[in-house]
Structure formats: C-alpha cells, structure tokens
C-alpha cells in the first residue's frame, strides 16, 4: 500500500503521496503543496533534504559508503572496466558489447577535431589563466562551431552531440595543459585508445615518440572512472538546471565546469595538494592545520575531508588511496606529501571534532597525489576531474531532457522590506 505523508499547518491537515525508489529510498512528493495550502512552500538551504529529480543513473548510500553506476559497483568498475566502457554505460544505460564500444570509439574519433579558430580564443588567454576558466570558456565556445540546439527527440542528433563532446573535450583539456607547459597543441593519434590518447595529447613532446606508460594509463583510467558520476552533486545539478531551460548541451556542460571549479567541490583536489604542501613547508605540523580546521573563527577547512552525502568513508577515496601507494611504488617515486597525507588522515580519523561530524577523506584527498606523480600541474587537477565527470554530466543532461522535466525554478521566502513609498532625492 502506497505510504502517505501527513502535514498539519494550523488547523488544516494535508496529505501527500510518498514515492519509493528502487533502493527503497522514500521521498514526500510535495508538487501540489503550494496549490492546496494557499502558498505554503518548503525551504531547505543547499537542498540537504530535498530531491530535485528521480534518476536511474547513479545510486549512492552515504551511510554505507556505497556507489554504483547503473547498478554496477564502483569497486568492480574501477578494477575491471575501461573508462570508455563506463562512459557508454552511464550515457546509454548498459555495458557495451565489443562492437558497440568499437563503434562508439570510432564515432568519437571521427568527431574529435576542434575548429582551428578555437585556438585563437585559447591564444587570447594569458599564460596565468586558470585552466578551469579556459576549459569552461572553450566548451561554451564550441557552441559557436556546432549547432547549439540539439533535437533531443532525434536519437541521431543526440548521439552526434554526445560523440562530438566526448571527442572534443579531451582535446580542450590537453590544449589547456600544453598552454601551461608552453607546448604546441596537438591531437594525439587515432591509433590509440581513448585514455591513451588523452595521455598522448597531454604529455607528448613534438621532438620525440610518445610511449604510453601502462602504470600511468591504468591509474588514469581508474581515476576517470571514479570521477565519472556522483548523482545530484553541485556541478551535475548545475548541468541539469541550465539544461532545463533547453540551453544546449555544450553550454550546460560549460556551466557545470564552472560549478566544479569551486574549492568546496571539484576545486578541492587542487586545494588539498596546496594544503599538504603548506603543511610540509611548515615542517609537517599537521596539528596546526587541524586546529585551524576546528577553529570557527578561521575560514580554513581541512580540504579533502567531509562530504555532503558520505557520512562514512567515500568508497572512491579508499580505492584511490590504494592506487596512490601503488603508482608511487611502481614509478619509484618517494613523495613526502603522501606521508603528510597519511599522518593528517590518521590525526583526523582519531580527532573527536572530525569523528563526531563524520568527516572522512573524500575523493579529492588522495587523487592529487596520483596526478602529481603523473607530472600533471596542480592547477590542472580539477580539469582532470571535469574530464572524468563528462560522461556523468552528459548522462544526467540527457535523462533530464528525455524526461521532459520542467524548467528548474526554486521558490523563496522573502525577508526584505515590506511596501514603502518612494522619496524624491531631495527628501532622502
Ligand atoms: C566533491 O556532492 C558531491 O557528490 C561532490 C563530489 C562529487 O563527486 O561530485 O563528491 C566531489 O566535491 C567532494 C567534496 C570536496 N570538498 C572538500 O573537500 C572541501 C572540504 N569539505 C567541506 O567544505 C565540506 O565537508 C563539504 C562542502 C564537502 C560538505 O559540506 P556540508 O555537508 O555542507 O557540511 P557542513 O558545511 O554543514 O559541515 C558540517 C560541520 C560544520 O561544523 P559545525 O557547524 O557542525 O560545527 O562539519 C564542519 C563544518 O564546519 N566541516 C568541516 C569540514 N567539512 C565540514 N570542518 C573542517 N574541515 C572540513 N573539511
């Protein structure tokens, strides 16, 4: 029997249906609330208790530290799958057959050339420009070179927009990094796999043959998979709400990249490394930074700790921590930053402030250590997060548009001045 939620406001009682998801999550469906109550709404800053949509893409259980893409566990996917396979799974709902995967990759390669005029926009940025700003701008600029309005009811048009951005975004990512490193732009090679080609575009030098390091390739593949989707986080919600106005896919993704840039969200992986570096420079004084993180008068937060949903270990952090050790060992790198990270983690896991607030390491705490081992500049870390999150954003945008969802438009409770008379300036 469907559950009912009862609400009493003053002397009036209301009933609302309760909806249940496939993992038995319950939500009170309040879409009639304002109408039946004469204007009463709910309010929930940061939407901590509010679902924006129903979605069949990613399931996470913050209490149990569970994360699944289309029903497959993140542990299985990170261990056994390839990033392009996982991208196909998120976007189309099923793991691809070999033929489907080969066709997907071939269509992506056929659409990976970026109009050369986009280089002129890139050239206009100062060398000091943050690559997240560059990526967001160039992604939006792609609209100028590709039809912005996608007829989502046409499978062909939707598919073409998907393979275009899956092909072009890695090029823009590599161009942003090559600009930082002062290297000529390039396209890698169509003879390479998707992840291998990202590496080639990012790292190859014009005067030498590029060989893919399998250790780095596997670590990057894992990192991209672990970042691929995470249900209704800040940047994904941005992609969905921008897309709900029927703005184009590329414009919606550009907005999502900007949202991800913030240090409370994807920008945290850069902030974690800068924090660990500061602690190392400070002689490894983790206690000083723990005290700062707990001091309410200090805006400093322990970057890479805490999560809106995970009130247990972020399962991605567990996987990345093991991978960080492995990559550094395999590459023969002895990075003291890893030791600082581990001692900071131990301190936090035993500190009542963090334990009481269920603040555990999140996906960003260890990822930067691997990116650094790969030779990726710290300001590129969030760009790598965006590259991983691309298929998730696409899948969520597609689900929202195909679901014919209404334009997102939250309400508010007004707390400003009530009506007052205008005064001429002479009277003020
Ligand atoms: C990502 O949503 C997603 O799914 C995001 C993401 C994804 O894949 O898309 O997982 C990726 O963004 C991971 C999060 C990366 N951000 C950081 O590492 C930045 C540091 N962490 C935070 O600022 C914070 O934990 C958030 C923003 C991640 C979550 O904030 P919440 O859930 O809104 O928690 P809160 O701000 O309400 O804090 C609750 C308490 C507060 O203290 P009290 O008021 O109860 O005394 O915990 C404290 C906070 O001050 N707190 C921290 C802290 N995080 C929360 N104190 C010190 N250091 C921290 N990192």
Q: Does the annotation mark 130 as catalytic?
A: no
Q: Is the CB of 357 under 6 A from ligand 1?
A: yes
Closest to 307 (Cα-Cα) out of 231, 411, 208: 231
| pLDDT for position 147 | 75
Rounded Cα gap, residues 94 and 165, in angstroms:
20
Calculate how far, in angstroms, residue 266's C-alpha sits from the geometric centre of ligand 1. Answer: 12
Tokens read off for 297:
């008068």
Rounded Cα gap, residues 412 and 30, in angstroms:
15
Strand order in the sheet with 66-69: 58-61, 66-69, 72-73
Asked if 240 and 229 count as a contact pair (C-beta separation under 8 A), the reply is no
Q: Looking at ligand 1, which residue's alpha carbon is closest to its atom 54?
A: 306
Half-sphere exposure of 84 (CA within 13 A, CB side): 23
pLDDT tens digits in sequence order for the chain, 428 residues long: 679 999 999 999 999 999 999 999 999 999 999 999 999 999 999 999 999 999 999 999 999 999 999 999 999 999 999 999 999 999 999 999 999 999 999 999 999 999 999 999 999 999 999 999 999 999 999 999 987 678 999 999 999 999 999 999 999 999 999 999 999 998 889 999 999 999 999 999 999 999 999 999 999 999 999 999 999 999 999 999 999 999 999 999 999 999 999 999 999 999 999 999 999 999 988 999 999 999 999 999 999 999 999 988 899 999 999 999 999 999 999 889 989 999 999 999 999 999 999 999 999 999 999 999 999 999 999 999 999 999 999 999 999 999 999 999 999 999 999 999 999 999 99
387 three-state secondary structure: helix
Calculate how far, in angstroms, residue 363's C-alpha sits from the geometric centre of ligand 1. Answer: 12
Rounded Cα gap, residues 195 and 170, in angstroms:
9
Q: Looking at ligand 1, which residue's alpha carbon is closest to its atom 39?
A: 357
Q: Is the CB of 305 under 6 A from ligand 1?
A: yes
Q: Looking at ligand 1, which residue's alpha carbon is closest to its atom 3?
A: 233
Asked if 231 and 59 count as a contact pair (C-beta separation under 8 A), the reply is yes
Beta strand pairing status for 58-61 and 4-9? unpaired
Q: Is the CB of 232 under 6 A from ligand 1?
A: no
Q: Which of 82, 227, 307, 314 is catalytic?
A: 307
Q: Looking at ligand 1, which residue's alpha carbon is closest to its atom 55?
A: 306
Max Cα separation, the chain? 79
Q: Which of 82, 229, 314, 364 is catalytic?
A: 364
For residue 209, CA distances in Å to 172, 216, 373 come to: 22, 17, 21
Instruction: Quote the Cα angle for 328-76-389, to 5°.
Output: 75
- Residue 224's Cβ-count burial label (10 Å; 0-12, 13-18, 19+) is buried
Q: Looking at ligand 1, which residue's alpha carbon is closest to its atom 18?
A: 304
Rounded Cα gap, residues 284 and 295, in angstroms:
19
Rounded Cα gap, residues 403 and 397, in angstroms:
10
Rounded Cα gap, residues 174 and 171, in angstroms:
5
Closest to 304 (Cα-Cα) out of 287, 321, 323: 321
Rounded Cα gap, residues 377 and 177, in angstroms:
8
Q: Does the annotation mark 364 as catalytic?
A: yes
Cα Rg, the chain, nearest whole Å: 23
The DSSP code for 361 is B
Rounded Cα gap, residues 193 and 175, in angstroms:
19
Please tell me the pTM assigned to this model: 0.96
Atom of ligand 1 nearest to the CA of 231: 4
Q: Is the CB of 229 under 6 A from ligand 1?
A: no
Calculate how far, in angstroms, residue 319's C-alpha sits from the geometric centre of ligand 1. Answer: 20
Helical H segments across 227-362, by residue range:
234-243, 249-261, 268-281, 286-294, 315-330, 336-349, 352-356
Beta strand pairing status for 72-73 and 66-69? antiparallel
Rounded Cα gap, residues 418 and 203, in angstroms:
60
Ligand 1 pocket, mutate which of 231, 257, 264, 306 (most atoms under 8 A from CB): 306
To which residue do tokens 């969520």 refer?
396
Q: Is the CB of 344 under 6 A from ligand 1?
A: no
Asked if 323 and 370 count as a contact pair (C-beta separation under 8 A), the reply is yes
| pLDDT for position 1 | 66
H or E, element range at 159:
helix 155-180
Tokens read off for 267:
């920008």
Calculate how far, in angstroms, residue 309's C-alpha sits from the geometric centre of ligand 1. Answer: 9
Q: Is the CB of 248 under 6 A from ligand 1?
A: no
Rounded Cα gap, residues 107 and 168, in angstroms:
12
Ligand 1 pocket, mutate which of 229, 307, 311, 367 (most atoms under 8 A from CB): 307
């Amino acid at each position: 029997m469907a559950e009912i939620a009862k609400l009493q406001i003053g002397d009036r009682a209301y009933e609302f249906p309760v909806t249940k998801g496939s993992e038995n999550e319950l939500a009170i469906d309040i879409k009639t609330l304002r109408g039946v109550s004469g204007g009463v709404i709910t309010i929930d800053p940061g939407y901590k208790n509010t679902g924006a949509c129903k979605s069949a893409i990613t399931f996470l259980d913050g209490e149990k530290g569970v994360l699944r893409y289309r029903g497959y566990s993140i542990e299985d996917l990170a261990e056994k799958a390839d990033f392009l396979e996982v991208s196909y799974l998120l976007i189309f709902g099923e793991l691809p057959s070999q033929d489907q995967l080969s066709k997907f990759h071939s269509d992506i390669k056929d659409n990976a050339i970026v109009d050369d005029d986009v280089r002129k926009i890139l050239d206009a940025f100062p060398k000091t420009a943050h690559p997240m700003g560059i990526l967001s701008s160039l992604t939006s600029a792609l609209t100028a070179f590709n039809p912005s309005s996608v007829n989502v009811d046409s499978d062909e048009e939707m598919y073409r927009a998907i393979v275009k951005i899956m092909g072009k975004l890695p090029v823009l990512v590599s161009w942003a990094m090559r600009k930082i490193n002062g290297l000529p732009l390039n396209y890698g090679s169509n003879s390479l796999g998707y992840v291998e080609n990202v590496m080639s575009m990012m790292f190859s030098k014009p005067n030498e043959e590029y060989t893919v390091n399998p250790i780095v390739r596997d670590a990057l593949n894992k990192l991209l998979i672990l970042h691929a989707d995470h249900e209704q986080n800040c940047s994904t919600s941005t992609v969905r709400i921008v897309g709900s106005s029927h703005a184009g896919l590329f414009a919606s993704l550009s907005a999502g990249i900007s949202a991800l840039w913030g240090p409370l969200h994807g920008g945290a992986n850069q902030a974690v490394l800068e924090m660990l570096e500061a602690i190392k420079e400070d002689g490894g004084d983790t206690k000083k930074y723990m005290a700062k993180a707990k001091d309410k008068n200090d805006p400093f937060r322990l970057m890479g700790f805490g999560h809106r949903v995970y009130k247990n270990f972020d399962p991605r952090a567990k996987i990345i921590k093991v991978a960080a050790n492995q990559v550094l060992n395999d590459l023969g790198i002895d990075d003291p930053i890893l030791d600082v990270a581990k001692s900071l983690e131990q301190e936090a896991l035993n500190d009542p402030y963090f334990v009481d607030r269920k603040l555990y390491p999140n996906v960003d705490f260890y990822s930067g250590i691997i990116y650094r081992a790969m030779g990726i500049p710290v300001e590129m870390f969030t760009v790598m997060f965006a590259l991983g999150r691309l298929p998730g954003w696409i899948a969520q945008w597609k689900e929202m548009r195909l679901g014919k969802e209404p334009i997102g438009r939250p309400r508010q409770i007004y707390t400003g001045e009530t009506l007052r008379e205008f005064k001429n300036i002479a009277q003020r």
